[in-house]
Amino acid sequence: MDIKVIVALIGLLGVLASALVQYFLGRQAETRKKLIEIRAQAYLDLVNIVSEIASSSKHSVSRQPNQLKSLTQAKTRAVLVGSDEVVEAIENFWNKFGILATDESFSAFTLIVLAMRKDLTGNNKVSESNLNSALFGSKGSA
């Protein structure tokens, strides 16, 4: 073979290999991005419905059937798509407390949110006490 043909083939193979690597890396990044979006929405839904229920119970309003349905759906989605740490924190909260009524339950729910933050961002520099205060105010009043 002529040297010009060999050089041209090497260049063509290099371009093809580069295109394939770029395609697979882009696809992997897009999959990761979509997973984070799905997890974030599931986590937000769970936190929102728990907040709604806690707020309504604070005002002596009984839980509505649609709230329980939304809670079950949000919890199921979070368990389905959540990281292992998030699932363990959810299990711990619902097995021990199930409702936001005591300081211990507020702390347990704060651990869920900490695990969610770590899962979505990869790190978490917010302390548990700061997050608890931000979520529930002083002395965990939902």
Is 79 within 8 Å of 90 (Cβ atoms)? yes
The answer on pLDDT for 140 being more than 60 is no
| 87-99 b/e (C-beta count within 10 Å ≥ 16 → b) | bebbeebeeebee
Which range among 28-32, 78-82, 122-126 shows the weakest confidence by mean pLDDT?
122-126
Alpha-carbon radius of gyration of the chain? 24
Please, what is the average pLDDT of the chain? 88
Counted residue by residue, the chain has a size of: 142
Model pLDDT, residue 118: 93
Give the residue extent of every domain in the chain. Answer: 3-140
Model pLDDT, residue 138: 65
55-86 residue pLDDT tens: 776 666 666 788 889 999 999 999 999 999 99
